Chain A
Amino acid sequence: MTSTQEQNISKPKPDQLQQEIDPTAKMRAINVDVWFGKKQVLKSVNLTVKPNTVTAIIGPSGCGKSTFLRCFNRMHELAPNAKMAGQILLDGKDIYERQIDPVQIRRRVGMVFQKPNPFPTMSIYDNVAAGLKLTGTKKSKLLDEIVRHSLEQATLWDEVKDDLKKSGTSISGGQQQRLCIARAIALQPEVILMDEPCSALDPIATAKIEKLVIELKQEYAVVIVTHNMQQASRISDYTAFMYLGELIEFGETRQIFEKPKNKLTEKYITGEFG
C-alpha cells in the first residue's frame, strides 16, 4: 500500500451528519468497533439503512464487511473472543441493550449466508417452516400458507411445489439459496441481511437471486455484502465502501459509482486494487 492511500483513509467520515438526522432509518450503526481478541477489525463504522431499499456493502476481502453485517443481528457475538462497542439501532432502539435477547432480534432481522445452508435432515417444506417451528408455531394450516407464500416470494414455488417432501439438499445450489431466502422470509422479518449470497452460484442462478433481491425491497430493507461491484451497482440503492475495517464512503449507489468523493473508492471501483 502506498502512502497516498494511507492519507485517504484518515480523511473525515463522509455523510455522517446527514445520516444522523435521518428520521426514516430502519437500522442505524453508530460508531461500531469490533475486535477479535486484541485485533480491531472494525473502526468506528457508521451506516444508515432505509426501509424499502437495498444497501450494498462492498470492499476487498478481509475489510470487515461480513463482520459488520453480522453485527446487525448479533450473529457476530457467536464468534469466540468477539467484542463490540457502539450502537446498532433498529427502529431507534439499541439492539445491544442488556435486557434484549438476541433471539428476538434475529427474528426481526433475517439472514442469508454465503454458502446455501438448508437443513440437510429436513424436507423443503420443513426448511421453510423451520423458523416458525423452531420458535414454537404448530398450526399446520397457517404453516401451509406461510410456506407457500414464502416460496412464491422467493420465486421457487413453481420449481418445487411437487417436491415439497424431498430433502432440502436435493435441489440445485441456486435453488437451495432461494430456499434459504424463503426460510428467512417465512419469519416475516423487517430487514434481510445477505452475506455474499451469490458467491457460490453460477451466473444464471446469480441473475435470479439479483432479480429477487430487487423485488424483496418492496417489503423489506435489504443489506447485502458483495465483492462483486457490478452486482452492487445493478441491485442496490445505496452503497457503502469499506476498507481495512473503516467505512470509506457511503452514499447513493449512482453517486458512489459515477462520482465517488474519495480517491480510494474511485481506485477500488475502477479496479486499481482489490
Chain B
Amino acid sequence: MMNSYGFRKFKNRLFFAICAICVVIAVVPLASIIFEVAKRGVPQLSWTFITATNGNSGIGPAIQGTLILIGLTSIIGIPIGVLSGIYLSEFGNNKYAQNLRTINNIIAQFPSIIVGITIYGLIVLTMGSFSAIAGSIALAFILIPIVTRTTEESLKLVPNNIREASLALGAHNWRTTLSVVLPAAKNGLLTGVLLAVARITGETAPLIITILGNRYFFQGLDKPLAALPLEIWKDALQPYAETQAQGWGAALILILMVLIINITVRLASRSRMKA
C-alpha cells in the first residue's frame, strides 16, 4: 500500500515538475525579449527622441502615426464590428447569419499581409498613393472580425431571461438590445475591443504596402504615414548602429503602448468581477 501511495505521490510531483519546466521554457524567451528591449531602449528615451523627426534623431512621426492609425481604425472598425456582433448574437438565428459567422471566423484567421495586399490593390492603386487612410482600412479589416466575434460572445453571456423581461414589458428588440443587453455586456465588450486594438497596434506587414512610412509628421489622410512597427522594421534593416539603437527605442515605446492598453483591459475586467 505504502509503496503504491509513494509512487502516486511521485507521479503527482513529476507532473507538476513537467508543467513548471514548460512554463519556464515559455517565459524565458519572452522575459529575455522584454529585458533586452528595455536594456537597449531605455538609454534612447528622451524628450527629443519621442517628439523630433527622424532627421533630428527622433521617432515623433512614428508615434504620432501609430496614434492616428489607432484612432482612424477604431472609428472605422469598432462601430462596424460591434454592430455586426450585435446582429449575430441578437438577430442571428438564421442561415444567413450562420454563414456570416463562418466567413467572419475565416477572415479573423487571415494572414495580415494578404489583407495588406488586398487594400493595396483596392485603395492604394486607385488613389495613386500610399496613404494613412489605406493603412487604417487595412487595419480595420483585421480589427472588425475580432471585435465582431468578441461582441457576439459577450452578448451571448447575457442571460436570456433579462431579454425576456424587457420584451415582456413591451419594449422593441432594438430597445432591449440597446438599453438592457448592451449595458449588461459592457465589460466583456470593452475588453474585446481593447484587445483587438492592442492587436492592430503591433501589426507591421499590412502597413508596409499601405502607408509606406514617412520621415515627417502627419501630412494628410491621403499621404504616406509613419508608424512604430514600420519604424522598428526599417531601423533594424539599417547598417548604422545609431539607427539600430533608435529601433530599440521605438520597440520599447511600442511595447509600452500595448502594455498600457492591456492594463486598461485588466482594470475593465476587474470591475466586471465586482458587478
Contacts and interface: CB of A to CB of B under 8 A. Distances in A.
Interface string A113-128: 1010111111000000
A128 to B, nearest CB: 11
B167 A106 contact: yes
Contacts of A135: 169-171, 175
Query: Is the contact region of chain B dominated by helix, strand, or loop, or is it mixed?
Result: helix
Contact of B180 (A103, A119, A184): A119
A80 B176 CA distance: 18
A156 interface: no
A151 interface: no
Interface string A169-190: 0000000000010011001000
A75 interface: yes
Given A75-B164, A106-B167, A184-B168, 16 more contacts: A75-B168, A78-B164, A80-B93, A103-B172, A104-B170, A106-B169, A106-B170, A107-B170, A113-B165, A115-B161, A117-B159, A119-B180, A131-B170, A134-B169, A134-B170, A187-B169
12 contacts: A73-B168, A75-B168, A103-B171, A105-B170, A113-B168, A117-B164, A120-B184, A120-B275, A121-B180, A130-B179, A134-B170, A134-B171
A183 B171 CA distance: 13
Contacts of B164: 75, 78, 113, 117
Interface in B204-247: none
A198 interface: no
A111 interface: yes
Contact of B170 (A78, A103, A117, A120): A103
A120 B162 contact: yes
A174 to B, nearest CB: 17
B166 interface: yes
A16 to B, nearest CB: 29
Interface residues of B, number: 21
A110 interface: yes
| Size band of the interface chain A makes with B | 20 to 34
Contact of A117 (B162, B171, B186): B162
A115 B166 CA distance: 14
Closest 5 CB pairs of A and B: A107-B170, A134-B171, A131-B169, A121-B183, A111-B168
Nearest to B163: A78
B165 A134 contact: no
Nearest to A120: B184
A75 B161 contact: no
